[in-house]
């Protein structure tokens, strides 16, 4: 169990181990305004870069966390950090690939040849590809192969030993699942806290910037998520969700508190369309 203490100011704060498209670090000030004062277990069934969990951990707010994602590579990385951190550190140091296009595509080919289950080499390569690929994207083709292009960064760096060990310390107190979001929160009870950060509903037909899995996240999945949100709310679970400012989403959650927030979109093929946008927080955080 994570001790309910704030990390001393002279210690390096834990930060996300991955660059993650759609990550929530930029909207943490908004999220933190609506965190329940007291909650039991914390659930994050769309784990991504875990920005909110990390912030709550740094603030000493986490007792126990259950994190999940259907992205097998993401879960493989987190499991390896939890169970084999020093093997991962050694594998990162042994990566032979440099910051150039040829090496990147060699690394990507090798990555796609490895099985993504309890695989230290694939976890290390994911970190390399994540830091050297375009904009922190995780994208796969119809065959499930990672296909993000080279990012052309001047001086990308990989996580150091201290980053890995600090992440390991947090994950020791986390249950890590590779489940559908509905299954991942099935055990949530009254006074637990669930934060949903699903793939956003697109604002228009060209809004999708990543194929997070080969199956995507459809309108029907958004409806299923709304149903799960309601079931949890009816059980007395504190629930919060971030999503796009979309009329379809507003209608799905009309009975809940909806807060408009401002975020910045950094991923768009048209640079003129990057910049501040309105997003939604959907809340049910108070019960009698």
Reference 129, options 110, 115, 142; nearest CA is 110
pLDDT at position 1: 32
Report residue 283's pLDDT band, with 50, 70 and 90 as the boundaries: very high
Give me the percent of the chain exceeding a pLDDT of 90: 77
The model's pLDDT over 28-38, given as tens digits with 9 standing for 90+, comes to 999 999 999 99
Angle at 60 between CA 283 and CA 265, to 5 degrees: 50
Distance between CA 172 and CA 93 in Å, rounded? 23
Q: Is residue 213 very low, low, confident or very high in pLDDT (cuts 50, 70, 90)?
A: very low
> E strand or H helix at 284, and its extent?
strand 275-284
Q: Judge whether residue 142 has pLDDT over 50.
A: yes
The DSSP-derived string for 184-201 is HTTT--TT-EEEE-PPPP
Cα three-residue angle 37-243-40, rounded to 5 degrees: 25
Would you say 177 and 66 are in contact if contact means Cβ atoms under 8 Å apart?
yes
Q: Determine the Cα–Cα distance for residues 62 and 56; give it in Å rounded to an integer.
A: 6
Residues 179 and 47: beta-carbon distance below 8 Å: no
pLDDT at residue 212 above 50?
Answer: no
In the sheet that holds 174-177, the strands lie side by side as 174-177, 64-68, 41-44, 193-196, 238-244, 275-284, 257-265
Structure confidence by residue, pLDDT tens digits, 80-136: 999 999 999 999 999 999 999 999 999 999 999 999 899 999 999 999 999 999 998
H helix or E strand, kind and range, residue 65: strand 64-68
Does residue 138 or residue 274 have the better pLDDT?
A: 138
Q: Are 14 and 54 in contact (CB under 8 A)?
A: yes
Tell me the per-residue pLDDT of 238-279, one tens digit each, with 9 for 90 and over: 999 999 999 999 999 999 999 999 987 654 444 444 567 899
- 138 confidence band (pLDDT: 50, 70, 90): very high
């Amino acid at each position: 169990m994570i001790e309910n203490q704030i990390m001393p100011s002279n210690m390096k704060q834990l930060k996300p181990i991955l660059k993650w498209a759609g990550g929530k670090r930029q909207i943490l000030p908004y999220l933190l305004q609506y965190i329940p004062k007291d909650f039991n277990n914390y659930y994050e069934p769309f784990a991504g870069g875990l920005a909110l969990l990390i912030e709550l951990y740094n603030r000493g707010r986490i007792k126990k966390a259950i994190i999940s994602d259907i992205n097998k590579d993401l879960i493989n990385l987190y499991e390896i950090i939890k169970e084999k951190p020093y093997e991962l550190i050694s594998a990162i140091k042994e990566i032979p690939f440099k910051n150039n296009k040829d090496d990147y595509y060699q690394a990507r080919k090798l990555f796609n040849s490895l099985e993504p289950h309890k695989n230290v080499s694939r976890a290390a390569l994911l970190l390399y590809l994540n830091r050297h690929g375009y904009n922190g994207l995780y994208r796969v083709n119809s065959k499930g192969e990672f296909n993000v292009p080279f990012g052309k960064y001047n001086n990308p760096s990989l996580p150091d030993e201290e980053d890995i060990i600090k992440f390991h310390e947090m994950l020791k107190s986390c249950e890590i699942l590779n489940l559908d979001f509905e299954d991942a929160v099935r055990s949530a009870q009254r006074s637990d806290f669930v934060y949903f950060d699903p793939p956003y509903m697109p604002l228009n037909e060209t809004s999708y910037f990543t194929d997070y899995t080969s199956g995507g996240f459809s309108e029907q999945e958004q409806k299923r998520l709304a149903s799960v949100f309601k079931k949890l709310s009816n059980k007395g679970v504190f629930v919060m969700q971030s999503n796009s400012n979309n009329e379809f989403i507003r209608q799905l959650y009309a009975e809940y508190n909806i807060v408009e927030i401002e975020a910045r979109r950094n991923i768009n093929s048209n640079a003129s369309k990057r910049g501040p946008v309105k997003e939604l927080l959907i809340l049910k955080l108070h019960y009698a």
